[in-house]
């Protein structure tokens, strides 16, 4: 397969690098798992705008620092097969790797550290706590808490879309196409019809290693 020379490789986190959806795990801890999973799926399937549910979910769950630390551990223990090998391969080829997620940044940073991705290459939504570690809100001006945010982040990373590719499972990942970035839809955890139809490439292998065929 002949592929463009992608130099910047971007990954979604939830249901792409890890088998979990972080916000749903926070919801499970307070007995709201089923309700939140429905909202998450509505956004990822393109049925609801992200901004219509983002604050609603966090206002209901109010995840504290302990909950975020638990999710951070789960991101690593539930890592998708092949992720570490993919990152090591890309790093050996001196590719620039970014994680772009509508998830909570403090929960994702330990996974990034595990994968040797620098903190400045982790683009997610900051959450705030008081001195006791209780929920105090989130960064409401983050582009990743609204529709179109991933396209904005891609443009911020590089103006040369031809050098970029993004791998993710949901409708928000398709937004990168708006600025010319190629998208690999990953259906190894959650298979979404909209993404399967609209992504430039689509894979259903439960291992992430198959993305290398489209990148290298």
Residues in the chain: 216
- Look at residues 10, 44, 16 and name the one whose alpha carbon lies nearest to residue 205: 16
Q: Which residues are catalytic?
A: 12, 14
Instruction: Give the CA count within 13 Å in the CB-facing half-sphere of 12.
Output: 31
Residue by residue, DSSP assigns the chain as -------EEEE--BTTTBSS-HHHHHHHHTT-HHHHHHHHHHHHTTSS-HHHHHHHHHHHH---HHHHHHHHHHHHHTBPTTHHHHHHHHHHTT-EEEEEEEEEHHHHHHHHHHTT--GGGEEEE-EEE-TTS-EEEE-TT-GGGSTTHHHHHHHHH-S-GGGEEEEESSHHHHGGGGGT-EEEEE-SS---HHHHHHSSEEE--SSGGGGHHHH-
Please state whether 93 falls in left (phi above 0), alpha (psi between -120 and 50) or beta.
Answer: alpha
């Amino acid at each position: 397969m002949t592929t463009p020379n992608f130099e910047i490789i971007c990954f979604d986190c939830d249901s792409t690098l890890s088998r979990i959806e972080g916000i749903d795990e926070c919801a499970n801890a307070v007995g709201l798992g089923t309700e939140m999973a429905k909202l998450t799926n509505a956004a990822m399937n393109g049925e609801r705008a992200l901004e219509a549910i983002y604050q609603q979910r966090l206002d209901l769950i109010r995840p504290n620092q302990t909950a975020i630390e638990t999710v951070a551990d789960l991101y690593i223990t539930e890592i998708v097969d092949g992720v570490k090998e993919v990152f090591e391969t890309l790093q050996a080829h001196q590719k620039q790797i970014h994680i772009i997620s509508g998830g909570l940044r403090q929960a994702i940073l330990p996974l990034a550290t595990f994968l040797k991705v620098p903190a400045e290459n982790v683009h997610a939504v900051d959450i705030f706590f008081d001195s006791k570690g209780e929920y105090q809100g989130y960064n409401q001006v983050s582009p990743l808490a609204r529709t179109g945010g991933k396209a904005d982040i891609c443009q911020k990373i590089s103006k040369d879309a031809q050098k970029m590719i993004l791998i993710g499972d949901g409708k928000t990942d398709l937004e990168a196409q708006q600025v010319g970035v190629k998208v690999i839809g990953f259906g190894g955890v959650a298979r979404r019809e909209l993404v399967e139809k609209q992504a430039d490439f689509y894979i259903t292998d439960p291992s992430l290693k198959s993305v290398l065929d489209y990148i290298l």
